[in-house]
Amino acid sequence: MRRGSTNRELKHALLERLMHYYHFLCGQPGAPTPDTVTSTEIARLVHMDDTLVRKDLAAIGVRGHPRVGFRSVEVLSAIRGVLGFDTAFESVVIGAGRLGSALASYPGFASLGMGIVGLFDNAPQKVGLTCGRHVIQPMVSLPTVVRNHGVSLAILTVPPDATQEVADQAVAAGIKAIWNFASTSLTTPDDVFVRHEHISVGLAELSYQLSRMSEQ
């Protein structure tokens, strides 16, 4: 394997495809990862063209081996390196409703380099309650937690009408990236990256495919 330069910014669509490849190679829980894999095998499982698979892997510096294909460990290592999974970072969840509580308790984030060090909510009846390994804290404690733990990411699961105010508080506390699960846009400084996770987009795709199937 030869690693190419990965300093250039990768496009959003490529990042998503790399995650598809990563999940495919990791396999199902308890199933062993294959030693080698071909671009055709990856393409078939993720419903993509094998030429695109080879192009994507070449973009992160991975080359196949003649009559062998790609060594899975090399592909996984390259994807982890490019996506930063081997560089741990800390995060907080703001909004201790059902979604926020579920995200704060999800153990799979650790394998992707993300730790969750705090769960916050402004509702007095929630503050002090235990959710998994977290004790729900008030928003006034956010700056201290961000500073003490070097937190860089805030995951927002608050109602839409409160999202901008909460985002402003997170930025003021020193947050550099926001993962927004509320169905509303945000205004943030240029040096703060925001990822909007609109569940409705996934639902729209499913609805579209179901409607097409019903017409056949």
57 Cβ contact list (under 8 Å, min separation 6): 21, 39, 63, 64, 70, 75, 78
Query: Could you list the pLDDT tens digit for every one of the 216 residues in the chain?
Result: 333 334 457 888 899 999 999 988 887 566 677 889 999 999 998 888 999 999 999 999 999 888 889 999 999 999 999 999 989 999 999 999 999 999 999 999 998 999 999 999 999 999 999 999 999 999 999 999 999 999 999 999 999 999 999 999 999 999 999 999 998 999 999 999 999 998 888 888 889 888 888 877
For the chain, what are the domain ranges? 12-82, 89-200
**The CATH number of the domain covering residues in 12-82:** 1.10.10.10
CATH T-level assignment (fold) for domain 89-200: Rossmann fold (3.40.50)
185 Cβ contact list (under 8 Å, min separation 6): 196
